[in-house]
């Protein structure tokens, strides 16, 4: 086995790491941080922090309403961020890019607006067993209110979506197929293009949860022909409080507003209103202006490095990590082989609870996550209450994986397993 020092990557890691101030810190005296929790949230480069700082120092004003210099600058920066996101996901128009708070809100928007207006009692929604709670609970709430049926595509032992089960369930003629592009637990990258095409052939609208795909590899909404795509800024080097819903124009235009208030209206009289046009129809009230600008800077940052290079880096990292973890006795990794997954590894160690693994790793500066990762049904499927999860991003190094492995050996020493 080669060690981390001699692995190769397309990225200039020294330079990239220098862009992230937090990566320089020690978490306790003499212990530097190994951040392996980017699936929960990513770290932020100086460029993003400075873009938000600059906005607050120089151009802070409310958008769309004022005609003074600051209001015009703030509006221009906010709308420029929308255009950056449009290009990043290859959307036909920036009007199809709606700013939300996060992936969760984007999916709820579709459930409440599209779901309430287009679905009726008895209609079927197809989900999968590997969804994050964000792509389950909004549909359960809708199902309770209007009497929908729900079906779930099953997950195989090795953490893939069972494609024959998918095809069988499409024969039930679902109205919507909502699924994750990449699992936040086992890292599986689902064959989205093919599955969306099959969903369309069966007459379903397709919603893709891109929370874990958009930050990590190139997602092209036109090539995928996806109807809705939801993702979060904070997982892609941007700030918290900003997310995106992309939708096909003909669907968005038919949908009623999700929230009412300022900015989402064209005209209000006593007793009635006329909704604004896209995308403002879905952006009620003062939005997260600085956060949108921060997301725009994150898009610039990721594009400057190149999404293909980032994906390739994470691929070699995950392959190396899987090889190193396979050396450790009594450690079980969930999910498919490196060629079918992104940079997320969930594992259990016999005789040690995942929370204890995480707590001891933290003593060595290694930040991972333990629990059900908001995917309880998938953990139930694997018949385990919790997993320990290490996840990687563009700033992680092979040496950090060596530090993870060394720390896991210390867990074994402590528990005598």
Catalytic residues: 374
387 binds ligand PLP (CB under 6 A): no
State which residue, 232 or 276, has the beta carbon closest to ligand PLP: 232
| Contact range with ligand PLP by CB under 6 A, out of 101-109, 117-125, 195-203, 348-356 | 101-109
State which residue, 113 or 135, has the beta carbon closest to ligand PLP: 135
State which residue, 64 or 340, has the beta carbon closest to ligand PLP: 340
User: To the nearest whole angstrom, how small is the minimum distance from the Cβ of residue 100 to ligand PLP?
Assistant: 9
User: To the nearest whole angstrom, how small is the minimum distance from the Cβ of residue 44 to ligand PLP?
Assistant: 15
Contact indicator for 258, 113 with CB cutoff of 8 Å: yes
Bridge-based pairing state of the strands 34-35 and 366-367: parallel
Contact with ligand PLP (CB under 6 A): which of 42, 86, 104, 358? 104
Q: Which long-range contacts (CB under 8 A, 24 or more apart) does 57-65 make?
A: 60/290, 62/286, 62/289, 63/286, 63/287, 63/289, 64/263, 64/280
| Contact range with ligand PLP by CB under 6 A, out of 189-197, 207-215, 284-292, 330-338 | 207-215
3-state secondary structure of 21: helix
Contact with ligand PLP (CB under 6 A): which of 9, 59, 96, 103? 103
Four-residue CA torsion sign, 115, 117, 121, 123: negative
Q: How does DSSP assign 118-139, residue by residue?
A: H--TT-EEEEETT--GGGTHHH
Six-digit token string for 136: 């389950």
- Burial of 140 (C-beta count, 10 Å sphere; 0-12/13-18/19+): middle
Q: How does DSSP assign 153-220, residue by residue?
A: E-B-TTS-B-HHHHHHHHTT--SEEEEESB-TTT-BB--HHHHHHHHHHTT-EEEEE-TTTTTTS---
State which residue, 133 or 149, has the beta carbon closest to ligand PLP: 133
How far is the C-alpha of 281 from the C-alpha of 260, rounded, in Å? Answer: 9
3-state secondary structure of 228: strand
User: To the nearest whole angstrom, how small is the minimum distance from the Cβ of residue 243 to ligand PLP?
Assistant: 6
- Burial of 413 (C-beta count, 10 Å sphere; 0-12/13-18/19+): exposed
132 binds ligand PLP (CB under 6 A): yes
> Which x/- pattern over 208-237 shows residues binding ligand PLP (rule: CB under 6 A)?
-x-xx-------------------x-----
314 binds ligand PLP (CB under 6 A): no
Contact with ligand PLP (CB under 6 A): which of 38, 86, 134, 396? 134
How many residues sit in the footprint of ligand PLP (CB under 6 A)?
12
96 binds ligand PLP (CB under 6 A): no
Six-digit token string for 397: 């190094």
State which residue, 134 or 396, has the beta carbon closest to ligand PLP: 134
100 binds ligand PLP (CB under 6 A): no
How far is the C-alpha of 154 from the C-alpha of 392, rounded, in Å? Answer: 26
How far is the C-alpha of 400 from the C-alpha of 396, rounded, in Å? Answer: 7
184 binds ligand PLP (CB under 6 A): yes
408 binds ligand PLP (CB under 6 A): no
| Contact range with ligand PLP by CB under 6 A, out of 170-178, 204-212, 250-258, 260-268 | 204-212
Where does this chain bind ligand PLP (CB under 6 A)?
A: 102-104, 132, 134-135, 180, 184, 209, 211-212, 232
């Amino acid at each position: 086995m080669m060690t981390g020092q001699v692995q190769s990557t397309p990225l200039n890691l020294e330079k990239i790491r220098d862009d992230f101030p937090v990566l320089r810190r020690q978490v306790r005296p003499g212990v530097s941080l190994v951040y392996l929790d980017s699936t929960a949230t990513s770290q932020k480069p100086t460029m993003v922090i400075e873009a938000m700082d600059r906005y607050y120092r120089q151009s802070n004003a409310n958008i769309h309403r004022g005609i003074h210099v600051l209001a015009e600058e703030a509006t221009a920066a906010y709308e420029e961020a929308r255009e950056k996101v449009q290009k990043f996901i290859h959307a036909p128009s920036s009007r199809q890019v709606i700013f939300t708070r996060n992936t969760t809100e984007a999916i709820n928007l579709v459930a409440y607006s599209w779901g309430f207006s287009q679905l009726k009692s008895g209609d079927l929604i197809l989900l999968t067993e590997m969804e994050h709670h964000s792509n389950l609970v909004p549909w359960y709430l809708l199902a309770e209110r209007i009497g929908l049926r729900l079906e779930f595509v099953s997950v195989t032992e090795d953490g893939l979506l069972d494609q024959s089960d998918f095809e069988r369930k499409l024969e039930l003629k679902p109205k919507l197929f909502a699924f994750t592009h990449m699992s936040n637990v086992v890292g599986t990258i689902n064959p989205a293009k093919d599955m969306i095409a099959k969903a369309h052939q069966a007459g379903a609208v397709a919603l893709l949860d891109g929370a874990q795909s958009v930050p990590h590899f190139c997602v092209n909404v036109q090539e995928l022909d996806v109807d809705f795509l939801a993702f979060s800024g904070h997982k892609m080097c941007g700030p918290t409080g900003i997310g995106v819903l992309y939708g096909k124009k003909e669907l968005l235009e038919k949908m009623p507003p999700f929230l009412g208030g300022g900015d989402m209206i064209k005209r209000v009289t006593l007793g009635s209103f006329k909704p604004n046009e896209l995308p403002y129809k879905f952006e009620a009230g003062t939005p997260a202006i600085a956060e949108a600008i921060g997301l725009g800077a994150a898009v610039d940052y990721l594009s400057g490095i190149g999404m293909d290079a980032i994906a390739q880096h994470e691929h070699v990292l995950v392959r190396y990590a899987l090889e190193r973890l396979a050396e450790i006795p009594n450690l079980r990794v969930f999910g498919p082989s490196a060629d079918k997954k992104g940079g997320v590894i969930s594992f259990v160690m016999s005789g040690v609870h995942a929370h204890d693994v995480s707590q001891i790793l933290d003593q060595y500066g290694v930040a991972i996550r333990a629990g059900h990762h908001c995917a309880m049904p998938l953990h139930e499927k694997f018949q385990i209450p919790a997993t320990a999860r290490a996840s990687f991003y563009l700033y992680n190094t092979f040496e950090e994986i060596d530090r993870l492995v060394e720390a896991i050996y210390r867990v074994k020493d402590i528990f005598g397993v």
